[in-house]
Amino acid sequence: MTRRPLEDVRIVSLEQYGAGPFGSMHLAELGAEIIKIEDPSVGGDVGRAIPPYTAPGDSLFFQSFNRDKSSVTLDVRTPEGREVFHDLVRTADAVFSNLRADVPATLGIRYDDLKEVNPQIVCCSLTGFGMTGPRSAEPGYDYVLQALAGWMSLTGEPGGAPQKTGPSLVDYCGGYVAAISLLGAIHGARRDGVGTDCDVSLYDTAVSLLAYPGTWHLTAGFAPVRTRQSAHPSLVPFQAFEATDGWLVVGCAKEKFWQRLTVVLSRPDLAEDPRFATFADRNLHRDELLPELEALFRTRTVAEWLAPLYAASVPCAPVRDVAGALTDPHTVERDLVAETPHPDFGPVRTLRSAVRVGPPGADRAPTRAAPVMGADTDRVLRELGYDDTRITALRSSGALGKD
């Protein structure tokens, strides 16, 4: 196998929970060395204790976000721990954290704190609300951000209670944004010889993902609202439809798909009706069109609809549960499931990164289970030139945690 593209990148990460570890895990799968700093005074990453599937010092939640990383126990608030941290910074391309926005200054992990140690260091902080603004000192979590950014007002059926998205998409998208920011800043630092800060936030991520409905609102006064059966705000039909035994999604994102759909439905007259001739017409008359379509789809099973829809190349899919998605032949063919051994959980099956570099069908790099807390402490310190005497002294000081 050829070298992975980020094998020459080292990131020291003070990360916890979901968003930060999710972002760095993609970089690890691309070959970056992620040295995960875990505070021994609090039991390391809080993700190790997330129920319901836990083992001593570990959990399946933690395994989901921390494959292919190294774990070093280190209390960077102690003088001894600070010295080790600086030695790590000298060898690293970046320091990454996802902590409350006031904590990086307290811990001394901003660029101004570390530029004398390593002028090229990139200091990326993924926080709830960013380093500036009236909410900057507040803790930020996915649910909180979905509420503040308007997502919960748009999700679910009209008239229902506020709903979050199923997966924690603000956290995960925030991780992706942090990973992109890190790579851009590392590239710039290598080019220019000077590092920088990256002030990335979950709030910015969530608001920016309002995307075109946000543009419509800001520019044209559009008022986004919930739609029945997850309907698209302007493309009709593009939504979930109920069949006799379940649900399917059908989407007409191009006029040709609408024409084909009317043939599948045995209703070519709908395509000829001037009320439904174009995107704009169908959107204007959606309250007349959709009841007819819904009644038609309720006459057959999901499978009976999917066969002719697939044959006509109309975008469609059954609405599946998680088990159905994870056992789909396409999931298997795309090699999206990683399996690693674990002493307590047995074989742990987790989902691999969607990030890929290489030709179609290329073999994936082998993956390692998320590390035991502190599993790599001695190895990493020896690579820094520390001998056994110094490591023992650090452990006695409490900087590496107590045995």
pLDDT digits (tens, 9 = 90+) for 207-225: 999 999 999 999 999 999 9
For residue 185, what pLDDT is reported? 98
- Tens digits of per-residue pLDDT, 100-133? 999 999 999 999 999 999 999 999 999 999 999 9
Its CATH architecture, for the domain 228-319, is 2-Layer Sandwich (3.30)
Q: Which amino acid is at 327?
A: T
**Cα–Cα distance for residue pair 289/283, rounded to 1 Å:** 9
CA distance 25 to 33: 10
Is 135 within 8 Å of 147 (Cβ atoms)? no
Rounded CA separation 93/13 (Å): 11
pLDDT at 383 over 80: yes
Is the pLDDT at 5 greater than 80, yes or no?
A: yes
Query: Active site includes 344?
Result: no
Residue 1 tokens, joined: 């196998």
171 contacts 139 by C-beta, under 8 angstroms: no
Q: Which of 68, 171, 199, 376 is catalytic?
A: 171
Identify the pLDDT of residue 362. 85
CA–CA dist 126, 95 (Å, integer): 11
Residues in contact with 96: Cβ distance below 8 Å, sequence separation at least 6, in sequence order: 11, 12, 13, 14, 15, 20, 23, 24, 124, 126, 178, 182
- For position 122, what pLDDT does the model report? 98
Question: What does the pLDDT read at residue 364?
Answer: 87
Phi then psi for residue 337, to 5 deg, are -110, 125
Q: Which pLDDT does position 325 carry in this prediction?
A: 96
Question: What's the pLDDT at 361?
Answer: 83
Question: What pLDDT, on a 0 to 100 scale, did the predictor assign at position 1?
Answer: 53
Q: How far is it, in rounded angstroms, from Cα 236 to Cα 275?
A: 12
Region 312-320: what's the mean pLDDT? Answer: 97
Q: How confident is the model at residue 204 (pLDDT cuts 50, 70, 90)?
A: very high
Closest by alpha carbon to 152, among 228, 238, 234, 226? 226
Phi, psi dihedrals of residue 84, rounded to the nearest 5°: -65, -45
Q: pLDDT band at residue 182, thresholds of 50, 70 and 90? A: very high
**Is pTM, for the whole model, over 0.85?**
yes
Say which residues have a Cβ less than 8 Å from residue 303's Cβ, sequence separation at least 6.
none
How do the domains of the chain map onto residue ranges?
Answer: 10-208+333-397, 228-319
Q: Judge if 10-208+333-397 and 228-319 fold alike in CATH terms.
A: no
Q: Write down the pLDDT at residue 223.
A: 92
pLDDT one-digit tens code per residue, 28-45: 999 999 999 999 999 999
Radius of gyration for the chain, computed over Cα atoms and rounded to the nearest angstrom: 25
Give the number of other Cβ atoms within 10 Å of residue 84's Cβ.
25
Q: Are 88 and 73 in contact (CB under 8 A)?
A: no
pLDDT at 16 over 90: yes
Average pLDDT over residues 362-370: 90
On whether the CB atoms of residues 315 and 237 are closer than 8 A, the answer is: no
User: For residue 39, which of 67, 60, 10, 16 has the smallest C-alpha distance?
Assistant: 16
Q: Are 397 and 78 in contact (CB under 8 A)?
A: yes
Residue 155 CA to residue 286 CA, distance in Å, equals: 20
> pLDDT-based confidence at 13, cuts 50/70/90?
very high
The residues, any chain, with a CB within 8 Å of residue 230's CB and separated by 6 or more, are: 239, 240, 249
Q: What confidence category does residue 358 fall into, taking pLDDT thresholds of 50, 70 and 90?
A: confident
Q: 10-208+333-397 belongs to which CATH class?
A: alpha beta
pLDDT band at residue 402 under the 50/70/90 scheme: confident
Predicted local distance difference test score (pLDDT) of residue 403: 60
- In this structure, are residues 246 and 298 in contact, taking their beta carbons and an 8 Å threshold? no
pLDDT digits (tens, 9 = 90+) for 272-314: 999 999 999 999 999 999 999 999 999 999 999 999 999 999 9
Residue burial 227-255, b: 16+ Cβ < 10 Å; e: rest: beeebebbbbbbbbbebeeebbbbbbeee
Query: Is 66 within 8 Å of 47 (Cβ atoms)?
Result: yes
* pLDDT, average across residues 85-94: 98
**In this predicted model, what pLDDT tens digit does every residue of 236-266 receive, in sequence order?**
999 999 999 999 999 999 999 999 999 999 9
**Average confidence (pLDDT) over 63-73:** 97
Distance CA 18, CA 141 (A): 10
Q: What is the mean pLDDT of residues 8-33?
A: 97
Tokens describing residue 381: 């310190």
